[in-house]
Structures are given as structure tokens and as C-alpha cells.
């Protein structure tokens, strides 16, 4: 079958204009009673434009403006316009018939204003398409972690944020109160949480710090955590106290702790000689130990509790041992 494109035309009928487009004539040779007959069919493809971007209702200041469109039916060169809500033309471009998108990285739009894009055929302006209106907002970053009083020495620092309108990757910086930078990390655009393992040995107890998250390609887009003071982990033995311990009962050891890095290590000393040790998960705060076969009546012993991974955290308890008396004898 042979197809011929005649030309761009305007189809008319007794009821008016039908449309603008290309007329296609399809020729087919048929054999009828030993003769070749040329069969002719006519079809028409209307010219049209459709904007595929921008398609969102919000555009963040500083991001490039992407305008793309679809064309069919022999659309020629196009005129691309960006209008504001007062219908003022912000920018105007001319693109050839093969081009289907345009990107502008340097448009100066106004926060709070609405804009829309239009595309039209330069030869036939009635072939036209418009995007939906979009409003321009300022990009934002909100640091959600760390908060005040939530950081302990010896631990990695968990940084989380919420951001809208990033142009580049998030950049994370940690400053002390003298604005000296201690840590820097560049995250990927898909991340909103990072763990800074180096903070475990770089952030010092009693010092105030602040986390700043910014757009690596837009220095004006920043968010900051509140200032936080790094706490030292703490450990305090609550039982046994400096009282006699009855050997017939298991020894109950209890403690309070905050921000421990490792497990709780319990060490028992007779003078300077360690004679027993036990390790507990730092999520626990009590344990029962049978030490009756190790203790001598009338002697004084020392219990030391410590963080297995942060040796500077100690709790001391001095207690003496007496044998339980059976009053029934």
C-alpha cells in the first residue's frame, strides 16, 4: 500500500472548520477481472500540543524550570512562554519542531506567586497548550534529630531532617559553640537520616554543639538543630548498700544508668583482688547472683560496676558480709 502526505491543510465542510493537520491519501492496487484498479482512502491527523511538565502544583525557588510537551499532526516550530498570574510574560523561547523540552536554570521567580507555561505553533497560534498553575515556595529544611539533651558521649550521632526543594545533596555539619566545625558529611539526595559514627570519639561531654543541614547547591537553604550539650553516660548502684548481706539469699544487685555504650560489667573485689565478675545487658537494671560459696563471714567486699565499652564510667559500692543467723536453733 502506498501512502502520500499531501500537505498541511484546513479541512472545511458545510458546517465549518474541522481542524488543522495533515491529509494522508492511501493508495492500494487491486486486481478485479483481469484489470488493476487503484483504490484510494483518505485519512486526516489533527495537529495538537500537550504540555507534560510542569505538572505539579508547587515549584521550589532555586530549582530549574522544566517545560516539556508532546506534539502530533505536523506541528512546526513552537513558542514557549512562562506567564505569571497577572498574565505578564516572564520568559519567551522559540524551539524547533524536533525539540520537545526546555530547561531554564536561572529563572528568577517570586515566592508566593503563581505561574503557568504555554506552548503554541509559531505558524498556527491556535494550536496551543497550557500547563496547570503552580505556586512558588521557598525551600525548607527542618532538622528533627538530635534534640536538646538527647546525645551521650561515646555514641554515634544520629541526624535526621525533613526537606523540600533540594537542588543538590544534603550537606551535614556539626559545630561547637565557638563555631569550630567538627564533622562534615555529604549525604545522597534520597537520604533523610545519617549516622555519624565519628561523633562517638569526637564529641566531648559538657560541650555544646549544633547540627546544620544545607543544600550543597544552594547555600541559602539551611536548617539547624537546637544547641545540645553532650552528656556523659551515668551509672549508679542502688543495691546493695553499705549494709550486711545475708549469705543464705542470692545477692540482688540493682543500678540506674543513662546513655551507656556497652554492657554493665560487675566486678567483686576482696581488697584489691578480684574474685568474681559478671556482665549484663545495659537494658537491664537488676541481677541476682549466688555468691554464698565465695564470701567469708565478717569480711568487707567492694563491688564496682562499669560500662564495658566506656571504662571511665564507674560506680562503687562498699558492703560487708555476715552469715545469716538461724534463730530457731
Query: What distances in angstroms separate CA 2 from CA 8, 42, 63, 148, one per listed residue?
Result: 19, 12, 49, 78
Mean per-residue pLDDT for 301-311? 88
Q: Is the pLDDT of residue 34 over 70?
A: no
- Name, in order, each residue with C-beta under 8 angstroms of 24's C-beta and a sequence gap of 6 or more: 3, 4, 5, 6, 42, 43, 44, 45
* H-helix or E-strand spanning residue 202: helix 199-202
The CA distances from residue 167 to 135, 202, 218, 225, in Å, are 17, 30, 7, 21
Task: Please tell me what DSSP assigns to residue 193.
Answer: E
Label residue 198 left, alpha or beta by phi (over 0 means left) and psi (-120 to 50 means alpha): alpha
Q: Do domains 48-137 and 234-322 have the same CATH topology?
A: yes
d(CA 97, CA 100): 8
Residues 241-268 pLDDT 10s: 776 676 667 888 999 999 999 999 999 9
Q: Which residue has the higher pLDDT, 151 or 10?
A: 151
Residue 103 pLDDT greater than 90, yes or no:
no
Class for the domain spanning 234-322: mainly beta
Neighbouring CB atoms inside 10 A of 205's CB total 15
Distance in angstroms (rounded) separating the CA atoms of residues 224 and 187: 16
Q: How does residue 328 score in pLDDT terms, banded at 50, 70 and 90?
A: low
Name residue, grid cell 550521632: 157
For residue 169, the 8-state DSSP code is -
In this structure, are residues 294 and 327 in contact, taking their beta carbons and an 8 Å threshold? no
- For the entire predicted model, the pTM comes to 0.67
Handedness of CA 206, 207, 208, 213 (dihedral sign): negative
| Residue written as grid cell 537553604 | 221
169-219 pLDDT tens trace: 999 999 998 888 888 999 988 899 999 999 988 999 999 999 999 999 888
- The full set of domain ranges for the chain reads 2-46, 48-137, 140-229, 234-322
Return the CATH architecture of domain 140-229: Sandwich (2.60)
Q: Which of 63-67, 153-157, 241-245, 254-258 has the lowest mean pLDDT?
A: 241-245
pLDDT for 106 equals: 80
Q: How confident is the model at residue 52 (pLDDT cuts 50, 70, 90)?
A: very high
Among residues 310, 318, 326, the alpha carbon closest in space to that of 154 is found at: 310
pLDDT of residue 35: 52
Is residue 110 within 8 Å of 138, Cβ to Cβ? no
Grid cell 498574565 is found at 87
Half-sphere exposure of 312 (CA within 13 A, CB side): 7
Distance (Å, whole) CA 40 – CA 250:
105
pLDDT range class, residue 102, cuts 50, 70, 90: confident
Residue with cell 566506656: 310
User: What is the percent of the chain where pLDDT is above 90?
Assistant: 47
List pLDDT tens digits, range 209-235: 999 999 998 888 999 999 999 998 999
Query: Domain spanning 48-137: which CATH class is it, in words?
Result: mainly beta
State the DSSP code for 185: E
At 310 the pLDDT is 81
Query: Which of 27-36, 47-56, 204-213 has the least mean pLDDT?
Result: 27-36
Residue 281 CA to residue 300 CA, distance in Å, equals 27
CB contact at 8 A, 181 and 221: no
Instruction: Please report the pLDDT score of residue 6 as a whole number.
Output: 44
pLDDT of residue 197: 92
Rounded distance between C-alpha atoms, residue 147 and residue 302, angstroms: 38
- Average of per-residue pLDDT across 290-316: 86
Amino acid at each position: 500500500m502506498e501512502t502520500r502526505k499531501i500537505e498541511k491543510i484546513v479541512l472545511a465542510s458545510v458546517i465549518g472548520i474541522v481542524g488543522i493537520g495533515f491529509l494522508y491519501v492511501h493508495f492500494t492496487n487491486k486486481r478485479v477481472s483481469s484489470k488493476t484498479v487503484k483504490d484510494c482512502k483518505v485519512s486526516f491527523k489533527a495537529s495538537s500540543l500537550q504540555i507534560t511538565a510542569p505538572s505539579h502544583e508547587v515549584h521550589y525557588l532555586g530549582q530549574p524550570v522544566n517545560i516539556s510537551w508532546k506534539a502530533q499532526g505536523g506541528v512546526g516550530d513552537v513558542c514557549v512562554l512562562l506567564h505569571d498570574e497577572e498574565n505578564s510574560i516572564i520568559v519567551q523561547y522559540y524551539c524547533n519542531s524536533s525539540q520537545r523540552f526546555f530547561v531554564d536554570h536561572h529563572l528568577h521567580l517570586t515566592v508566593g506567586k503563581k505561574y503557568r507555561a504555554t506552548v503554541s505553533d509559531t505558524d498556527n497560534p491556535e494550536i496551543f497548550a497550557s500547563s496547570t498553575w503552580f505556586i512558588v515556595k521557598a525551600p525548607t529544611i527542618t532538622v528533627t534529630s538530635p534534640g536538646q539533651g538527647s546525645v551521650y558521649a561515646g555514641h554515634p550521632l544520629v541526624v535526621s531532617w525533613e526537606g523540600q526543594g533540594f537542588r543538590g545533596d544534603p550537606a551535614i555539619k556539626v559545630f561547637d559553640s565557638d563555631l569550630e566545625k567538627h564533622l562534615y558529611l555529604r549525604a545522597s539526595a534520597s537520604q533523610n537520616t545519617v549516622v555519624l559514627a565519628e561523633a562517638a570519639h569526637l564529641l566531648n561531654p559538657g560541650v555544646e554543639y549544633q547540627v546544620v543541614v544545607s543544600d550543597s547547591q544552594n547555600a541559602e537553604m539551611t536548617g539547624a538543630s537546637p544547641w545540645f550539650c553532650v552528656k556523659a553516660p551515668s551509672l549508679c548502684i542502688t543495691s546493695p548498700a553499705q549494709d550486711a548481706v545475708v549469705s543464705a539469699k542470692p545477692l540482688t544487685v540493682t543500678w540506674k544508668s543513662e546513655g551507656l555504650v556497652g554492657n554493665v560489667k560487675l566486678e567483686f573485689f576482696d581488697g584489691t583482688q578480684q574474685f568474681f565478675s559478671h556482665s549484663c545487658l545495659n537494658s537491664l537494671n537488676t541481677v541476682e547472683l549466688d555468691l554464698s560459696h565465695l564470701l567469708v563471714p565478717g569480711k568487707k567486699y567492694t563491688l564496682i560496676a562499669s560500662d564495658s565499652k566506656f571504662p571511665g564510667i564507674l560506680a562503687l559500692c562498699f558492703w560487708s558480709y555476715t552469715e545469716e543467723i538461724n534463730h530457731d536453733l
